[in-house]
Structure 1
Amino acid sequence: MKGLGKTLILLSAVAACLSLLIVCDATATSASPALSQQQKLKLGERIYREGILPNGEPLMAFVKGDLPVPGTAFTCISCHLRGGIGSIEGGVYTPPTNGKTLYQPLKKIHKGVEIKYGEDPFRRPAYTDETLAEVLRTGTDPVGKILDDVMPRYLLEDEDAPLLIAYLKSLSSEFSPGVTDTTLHFATIISEDANPADTEAMVSGIEKFITDKNGMANNYRNVRTPRDRMMAKAMSTSKELELRKLTLSRWILKGAPETWRRQLEEYNRREPAFALLGGLVNGDWQPIHQFTEENGIPCIFPNTDFPVISDTDWYTLYISKGFYQEGEAVARFLNSKEELLQDTRIIQIVRASREGRALSAGFEETWKTMSHNPPLTISLAKEEQLSDAMVSKLTAKEEPLIILVWDGPDSGRILTALANGKNKPTMVFASSSYLGKNLMTLPEQVRDFTYLSYPYRLPQDKVIDPMMGKAINFQVGDNRVAQQTYALVLTLNMAVMEIKGNYYRDHFLDAIGMSMDRVVPLYERLSFGPGQRYASKGCYIVQLAGGENPQLVKRSDWVTH
C-alpha cells in the first residue's frame, strides 16, 4: 500500500504538469479578472514568503523525489531569501529567482569568467511563463536538466501558478530608491535636541567610512599598472562601486515626535535613501521604526535603548533589545536555577519610567513563556520613594524571596533597606544600565545578594580574535555611541561588498542576515541569521566585588535569547 500511495502522488504531480501544457496559453491570464495587479502581487508574495495559497491552504510540495510536505516548511524565501538573489550556505548554491535573472539566458561561467565560445554559450535559455511553471512543478529546466533534489517540486494549480510567476517578475526588478548611476545614497536621522557629543561620535564615524570607501574607489579608477590595479581592487569594496560613490545626508527632526512622520516623509520625497545608518533621537524610536516599515527602508543599528520588540517586522536591525533584553536575561538566568524557584516568591519593584517598564516587560514576557506564574509587581510613581515600612512588609514572611529592583540610580537606597531589614532576600536583581554611573558605588553591604544584568563585554576582558586566538586592540574610544557606530561600520562594509551591485533593499538586509559573526569591543558577540533583527543577543549576570575600585564578577555565561 505504501508503494501504491507514492505512485498515486507521483501520478497526481504528472497530471498537474500535463494540465499546464494543455492550457499553457492561458497561464498569464488564469487569475480571476476581478483581482487588481496589486492584489495579484500580494497573493504571489504570500506564496513565495509563506507557502500559503490564495485559498488559505498550504502549498503542497515534494522533496527527495516523492516525500510530500507542506510548502510552509519549504518556502521559496527560506532558500532564495527575501530579495530573491539567492545565497551560498553550507556549500549549497541557491540561484536567483527574481524575474530579472530568470527571464534572461544563464551564461556559462568558469572561475568567474564568462565563456563566450562554442555553439551554445548559455547554460539555459531565458525562462518563459510556461517553462518557469514547469520547473516549479517538476524540477525540469528549459533544456531538460533535472534540478537537484534540494529544490522542492510544488503542486501549483493553474490559477495559482500565474500569481507566483507575476510576483517573481516583480521581485528585485528595479534598483531601490537611493541608487543612481553615480551614487549610493544613505541618510542618518538625528533629532535637533540629541546629545551633541554623541551626534558627533556617530556622524564622524559614518562619514569617515564613506570617505575611505570613496577614496578606495577613486584609487581603483585611477591606477594604471595591472599590479596596482589588482591591489586597489582588493582594497575596494567591489568593482561595481567604481561607478558609484557613497553619500550621506542628515535628516534632522525638529519639534514634537508626533510631527516627525511628516518630516520624514518630506525628507524621503526630496532625497530618498537606500538605507538609514545609525540614528540618534531624544525620544522614542517607535515613530521612526513605523516609518521605515511602511516605506520599506532598511535602518541599521539606530542608537536607542528602547527598540521596537517584534518577531515580524523586517526593516530595522537593532544592535540589541536594550533594557528589555536585560529583563529577559534575568528571567532566563532564574529559570536555570530550578532549585531556587521552589516555594520562592518573586517580587518586582518597577519605577514608572521607560526604563522600568522595558525591564519589567522583558522579564514578564519571557517568564510567561517558561510557564511560570507572574511575579508580584509593586509600581512606583516617577518621584515616589519606597518607604522602610513597605520594605519591611515585603520581607516579613520567613521564606525565600527574590526581588527585582527595576529602578534607576537611586536603587542603592532600596537595596540598603533590604539589607537592613529583618529577613534579607535570597537574591536581588537590578539593571546595570539603569544604575548608570552609580553601579560601581553600590554599598558593600548589598553586594553579596545583589545580582546585575550587564549587556556588554566586561571592562577587564580582552577581546580575542576567534580565528587567530590573539587579543585585538581597538582604537574606538570610550563613548558608547562611537563603539556602536564602529559595529555599524563593520556591518555596512560587509553588506556593501556582499550585495555585489544588486542594489535592492531586501537583498541588502539578506546579505547582513547571512553574514559572519562580528568581533567588537563593546559586545561579547554580534551575529545575525535570516530574519533576525537583533545583533547582540546576550547579557551577563554579574556581581560587584568588594573594595573601593571593584571589578564585575561573572555569575553566568553569556545568557542568550
Structure 2
Amino acid sequence: MLMILFAPSQAVVFAETLITSKEIQASGERMYREGILPNGKPIQSMVSADVPVDGRMFTCVNCHQRSGLGSIEGSVITWPINGKELFTPRRRTGAWHAAKQKQGPGATQRWSLPTQYQAADARPSYTSETLAKLLREGIAPDGRILSRAMPRYQIDDSNMEILIEYLKNLSIENDPGVDEKKIRFATVITEGVSAEDKNAMLDVLKAHIDTHNIQTRPHKRRANSGPFYKTEQYGAYRQFELDIWELSGPRNTWHSQLKTYYQNAPVFAMLGGIAKGSWDPIHHFCETKKIPCIFPITDQPVISSTDWYTLYLSKGYYQEGNTTARYLRSAIKNNEITNVIQIYRKEEGKGAMLAQGFRENLTKKGMIKITEVILNEGDSIEEKLLQLPFKVQTTDTILLWLESNDMSAATKWFEKQPQPPGVLFASWKQLEGNTSVIAEKLHDKTYFTYPRDLPEDNLRKIKIVKRWLNNRKIPVTNLDIQSQMYFLGWMLPGAISHMRSEFFRDYFIENFDMMHDQDYAIPVFPRLTFGPGQRYASKGSYIVKLDKDEQQNLVKKSEWIIH
C-alpha cells in the first residue's frame, strides 16, 4: 500500500501501519543524509549510467548539504533541492522576479517589466511524480538529462514518498532569531573568566556588531533602489543584535540557564564566547537546540567527528597531544622501541586532553610503549614517580602535561635521577610560557608544543589587528583573544551576505564550510582551513625549543605538523 500523506503534524498510513509525520521526517532525513532506507538497508544507486554503488557513498547531503541549498565545488554547481525551491519554477540567474511585482520597498513600477523583457523560467516546478522520475532516471521536468555524476537511485514507491515528503519540508521557513529587520545573536561568558579576558572578547565582538549596524545607509539604499537582479541579495540586509548570556554556579546547571535565556529570546546563532574550563555544556546545548556556535574562545573543545553545530578555531590541547604523537612517530627509526612516560592530573582537564590527544593518535603503537602516571587530587608527584616499576633511562621520553607547580616538582625529581631522561615534552600554552619552572639542567632536553604562529612570523598581521583596535579605542590586553574575535568579525559578513534571504542555521554554518582558506586576517594561527563538515579550522602545531643563547626566544624544531 502506498503512503497517504497529510499535514506534517498528522499521522499517515504506510504499509497498513499508522506512522507519525515525525517518523517520516526521521526516516527521510536518514535517507537524505546517510543513504539508508527505513528498513536499515543501504539505498542502491547507479552512477555514470552503468556503475552500481552503495547509496551511502553518494548521499544527497554530500553535494546538496544539510540545508538542501546546494554548493559550489570548482566549476560544478549543485542546485538547491529544499522544498520551496523544488516546487516552484526556477528563474534564470538574474531574471526579474514575477512574484515580487507588488512586494518589497519602493514603487511598484520598479518591479514591472514589459513582457518582451521577461526571461523564461529555467525549469518548471517539480511535482512528486517528476521529482521521483528525476531521482530514479536523472530526467528533469523539462526533459533535460542530468549530469552523469548525479546518481540514479533505486528506490521503491513507498520509500520514494518518504524522501519526497522530507524534501518538501526541508528549509522552508526561516529559523528562529531572525525577523524582517534584525538577526539576533548571543555570546556566552561563564563564571571564572577574568574581567580582562571577558572584555578582550566582548569589546572586539561588540565593535564588529556596531560597525555593521552603523553602516546602514548604503545597505538600505540598495534594498530600496538597487538593480532588480540583486533584489534577493540586497533585500536580505538585517541589523545585528547581540545578547550576552552569563552563566554561573555548578556546570551541571548551565544547560538549564542556557535554556532559559533561549526561551526568553531565541537567537539565530552564538558568536564567540568564553568559558573557564571545558566548552562541553555549551557545545551540547547547541547540538540539542541546533544552534550554530562560531569560534568560541576555548582550548578545551569537544572532540567529535559527527557533531555539527559548533565551529572551533582548533582542537586545543588535544591537538597538541596529537602533534607530539606525530613528531615522535616520525623520529622512530629502524623499528626502535621508545619508552614514553606520560604524566598528568586526572582532575585537570588540560593535561587529560593532552594525554588523550597523544594516546589516540599513535599509529606505531608497537614502537611506542606508554606508561601513564595519573595524579589524583592531593597526590604528590614525587611519591607517584617513586612507584614507577622501572628506573628512568636516558633513552626515555617524558611527557609532562602539568601546571607550573607540578612541573617544577616533576623536573626537579627527574633532574636528580642517576640517568635523567633524554627528552621531555611540555605544553607551552598550559605553562602560559613560564619556562622558569623547569629545572635548569633539563632546559636543553625539553621540547614544547606550540599551537600558534610564532610572533616573529606574523608581525604584519599583528600590526593590522593592533591598528584596528587603536582606531576603535580598544586597549590591547589579551591579543590572543582579541585576534580570534577580530577574525570572527572578519568572516561573519561574508557568511551572512552569502545566505541572501535564506536564513537557515544549517546554511549559515555551511557558508563557513565553503570559505576560502585564511592566512591574512588571523595573526594567531599560520593558516585556517575550511571544508564541508570540518569543525576545527586550525589543524596543526609546532614543536619548539628554547634558544640556547637567548632563552626568551623559541626555535622551531618542526614544520607545522597537521593532524
The reply to whether residue 366 of structure 1 matches residue 390 of structure 2 is no
For the residues of structure 2 that align with 1:501 and 1:371, how far apart are their CA atoms? 55
The reply to whether residue 438 of structure 1 matches residue 434 of structure 2 is yes
For the residues of structure 1 that align with 2:137 and 2:13, how far apart are their CA atoms? 20
Tell me if the contact between 2:499 and 2:507 (Cα under 8 Å) persists in the aligned partners. Answer: yes
Shift in alpha-carbon separation, 1:463–1:506, aligned structure 2, 3 A: farther
Q: Which moved more, 1:278-287 or 1:177-186?
A: 278-287
Q: Deviation at 1:216? A: 2.4
Shift in alpha-carbon separation, 1:207–1:163, aligned structure 2, 3 A: same
For the residues of structure 2 that align with 1:112 and 1:405, how far apart are their CA atoms? 65
Q: Deviation at 1:55? A: 1.3
Q: Deviation at 1:354? A: 1.2
Tell me if the contact between 1:348 and 1:377 (Cα under 8 Å) persists in the aligned partners. Answer: yes
Residue in structure 2 matching 1:99, options 80, 83, 89: 83
What residue identity is the alignment partner of 2:414?
Answer: L
Shift in alpha-carbon separation, 1:560–1:370, aligned structure 2, 3 A: farther
What residue identity is the alignment partner of 1:264?
Answer: L
Q: Deviation at 1:284? A: 3.2
User: Runs of 5+ in structure 2 lacking a partner?
Assistant: 7-11, 99-112, 470-475
The reply to whether residue 48 of structure 1 matches residue 42 of structure 2 is no
Q: Which moved more, 1:100-109 or 1:369-378?
A: 369-378
What residue identity is the alignment partner of 2:372?
Answer: T
Equivalent in the alignment of 1:526: 528
The reply to whether residue 376 of structure 1 matches residue 376 of structure 2 is no
Q: Deviation at 1:474? A: 3.0
The reply to whether residue 152 of structure 1 matches residue 138 of structure 2 is no
Residue in structure 2 matching 1:333, options 310, 327, 341: 327
What residue identity is the alignment partner of 1:171?
Answer: L
What residue identity is the alignment partner of 1:494?
Answer: G
Shift in alpha-carbon separation, 1:306–1:216, aligned structure 2, 3 A: same
Q: Deviation at 1:262? A: 1.6
What residue identity is the alignment partner of 2:376?
Answer: A
Equivalent in the alignment of 1:3: none
For the residues of structure 2 that align with 1:369 and 1:163, how far apart are their CA atoms? 46
Shift in alpha-carbon separation, 1:143–1:111, aligned structure 2, 3 A: closer
Q: Deviation at 1:549? A: 4.6
Residues 479-518 of structure 1 correspond to what in structure 2 (within 5 A)? 479-518=479-518
Q: Which moved more, 1:88-97 or 1:245-254?
A: 245-254
Shift in alpha-carbon separation, 1:259–1:392, aligned structure 2, 3 A: closer
The reply to whether residue 425 of structure 1 matches residue 435 of structure 2 is no
For the residues of structure 1 that align with 2:291 and 2:3, how far apart are their CA atoms? 38
Cα deviation per residue 1:9-58 (whole Å; 9 max; x = unaligned)? xxxxxxxxxxxxxx999798784442210000000000100111111111
What residue identity is the alignment partner of 2:305?
Answer: D
For the residues of structure 2 that align with 1:532 and 1:61, how far apart are their CA atoms? 27
Equivalent in the alignment of 1:122: 121
The reply to whether residue 80 of structure 1 matches residue 71 of structure 2 is no
Equivalent in the alignment of 2:538: 536
What residue identity is the alignment partner of 1:104?
Answer: T
Q: Deviation at 1:443? A: 4.8
For the residues of structure 1 that align with 2:505 and 2:514, how far apart are their CA atoms? 15
SS in 1 for 2:267: coil
SS in 1 for 2:42: coil
What residue identity is the alignment partner of 2:76?
Answer: V
CA RMSD of aligned residues (A): 3.1
Q: Deviation at 1:191? A: 2.2
Q: Which moved more, 1:31-40 or 1:504-513?
A: 31-40
Cα deviation per residue 1:363-410 (whole Å; 9 max; x = unaligned)? 111126866666111122344443299469687365621111111113
Q: Deviation at 1:113? A: 9.2
For the residues of structure 2 that align with 1:257 and 1:131, how far apart are their CA atoms? 52
Cα deviation per residue 1:199-223 (whole Å; 9 max; x = unaligned)? 1121221111111112223333258
The reply to whether residue 295 of structure 1 matches residue 279 of structure 2 is no
For the residues of structure 2 that align with 1:134 and 1:67, how far apart are their CA atoms? 19
- Percent of aligned positions that are identical: 37
Tell me if the contact between 1:540 and 1:559 (Cα under 8 Å) persists in the aligned partners. Answer: yes
Tell me if the contact between 1:277 and 1:301 (Cα under 8 Å) persists in the aligned partners. Answer: yes
Equivalent in the alignment of 2:131: 132
Tell me if the contact between 2:465 and 2:486 (Cα under 8 Å) persists in the aligned partners. Answer: no
Tell me if the contact between 1:31 and 1:163 (Cα under 8 Å) persists in the aligned partners. Answer: no
Residues 69-468 of structure 1 correspond to what in structure 2 (within 5 A)? 69-109=53-93, 117=116, 121-222=120-221, 239-242=234-237, 244-339=238-333, 342-352=336-346, 353-367=348-362, 375-387=370-382, 390=385, 396=391, 398=393, 400-410=395-405, 411-439=407-435, 442-462=438-458
For the residues of structure 2 that align with 1:140 and 1:274, how far apart are their CA atoms? 37
SS in 2 for 1:167: helix
What residue identity is the alignment partner of 1:135?
Answer: L
SS in 2 for 1:546: coil
Residues 53-72 of structure 1 correspond to what in structure 2 (within 5 A)? 53-72=37-56
Shift in alpha-carbon separation, 1:225–1:297, aligned structure 2, 3 A: closer
Tell me if the contact between 1:30 and 1:159 (Cα under 8 Å) persists in the aligned partners. Answer: no
Tell me if the contact between 1:538 and 1:560 (Cα under 8 Å) persists in the aligned partners. Answer: yes
For the residues of structure 2 that align with 1:552 and 1:199, how far apart are their CA atoms? 29
SS in 1 for 2:214: helix
Tell me if the contact between 2:513 and 2:532 (Cα under 8 Å) persists in the aligned partners. Answer: yes
For the residues of structure 2 that align with 1:518 and 1:303, how far apart are their CA atoms? 18
Tell me if the contact between 2:392 and 2:421 (Cα under 8 Å) persists in the aligned partners. Answer: no
SS in 2 for 1:123: coil
Q: Deviation at 1:481? A: 1.7
Q: Deviation at 1:330? A: 0.5
Q: Which moved more, 1:393-402 or 1:540-549?
A: 393-402
Residue in structure 2 matching 1:39, options 23, 30, 45: 23
SS in 2 for 1:72: helix
Q: Which moved more, 1:154-163 or 1:434-443?
A: 434-443
Tell me if the contact between 2:393 and 2:420 (Cα under 8 Å) persists in the aligned partners. Answer: no
For the residues of structure 1 that align with 2:419 and 2:88, how far apart are their CA atoms? 76
Cα deviation per residue 1:499-555 (whole Å; 9 max; x = unaligned)? 222100000111111111122101111112111111111110111112455311111
Q: Deviation at 1:299? A: 0.6
For the residues of structure 1 that align with 2:370 and 2:83, how far apart are their CA atoms? 53
TM-score (normalizing by structure 2): 0.86
SS in 2 for 1:124: coil
User: Runs of 5+ in structure 1 lacking a partner?
Assistant: 1-22, 466-470
Shift in alpha-carbon separation, 1:377–1:122, aligned structure 2, 3 A: same
Cα deviation per residue 1:168-198 (whole Å; 9 max; x = unaligned)? 1111111010011111110111124432111
Shift in alpha-carbon separation, 1:383–1:107, aligned structure 2, 3 A: same
Tell me if the contact between 1:320 and 1:536 (Cα under 8 Å) persists in the aligned partners. Answer: yes
For the residues of structure 2 that align with 1:76 and 1:445, how far apart are their CA atoms? 59
Tell me if the contact between 1:131 and 1:142 (Cα under 8 Å) persists in the aligned partners. Answer: yes
SS in 2 for 1:360: helix
Equivalent in the alignment of 1:17: none
For the residues of structure 1 that align with 2:161 and 2:176, how far apart are their CA atoms? 27
SS in 2 for 1:319: coil
Tell me if the contact between 1:188 and 1:249 (Cα under 8 Å) persists in the aligned partners. Answer: yes
What residue identity is the alignment partner of 2:530?
Answer: F
What residue identity is the alignment partner of 2:273?
Answer: G
Tell me if the contact between 1:24 and 1:130 (Cα under 8 Å) persists in the aligned partners. Answer: no
Tell me if the contact between 2:48 and 2:148 (Cα under 8 Å) persists in the aligned partners. Answer: yes
For the residues of structure 2 that align with 1:499 and 1:360, how far apart are their CA atoms? 40
Shift in alpha-carbon separation, 1:398–1:249, aligned structure 2, 3 A: closer
Cα deviation per residue 1:435-455 (whole Å; 9 max; x = unaligned)? 114136745422221111110
For the residues of structure 2 that align with 1:528 and 1:372, how far apart are their CA atoms? 33
What residue identity is the alignment partner of 2:483?
Answer: Q
